[in-house]
A and B are shown apart, each in its own frame.
Chain A
């Protein structure tokens, strides 16, 4: 076995700014993972039942606001440089825009056709076929766009997952 040489340089000290970036990366990773799991469960209506589906949808809506807020800098930066960027970055931006539109309309229409969650809160709405159809169509579109959205960043996901797997508290990874 090769033992590490005793004369090796000590690891550089972790600066406060680096630590902040690491914490932010961890937050992004776990929030995104949570969103993906919640979305998958919410889409599987037969598994969750109506009440869980609706409450998960509402929770997903709130979590998505946080997700979008955390990545708002990327939105501004990419939108500003949209025409100067390469084809891939423009494609990612377009997928994200479509996902924002469809997910917002899906959650909004889901709230408007709610059968359990809203009545539990004392709010009653009469669901129209328009919102029901909107919910079905946008839900199908999100099922296509969500995995595409996640897979477009698979290198980042794999990289962070590897670092997190090797991460120990107190170590700078």
Chain B
């Protein structure tokens, strides 16, 4: 007879819940982070690291309004930290960031010129379709800050694109 302890049942439940979360959120978060960073390898590594941390704390993280937002923030912070560390520890090499194959090169170049914080807001808003409140919670900033970043980012894009965006 197989004896299943309470602890094992708890672990199995946790794994099942996390499994559902992982399968629904991993790919969209990876894509959003890759577009924010412009580096799909770094994004994949960062999302994995954030998912491990989410699993470690799943009892807490799963109760958040937007666990995916928590994962995105941890992954983004981890990736930026890694970028800084990479520059400290590695000899100079060609830029590691891969050029994503983007269908709209003019817009892609304009998005690339945004700051990371502005680009993150734009990607979360227009790729993941998150609300301003969700974005604010994910990035750990007030909603007003998200609004102003979004406004500035769109203004900057319009300025860079000129009349091209109305075409």
Whether both chains belong to one complex is answered with no
Residue numbers of A with Cβ under 8 A of B are none
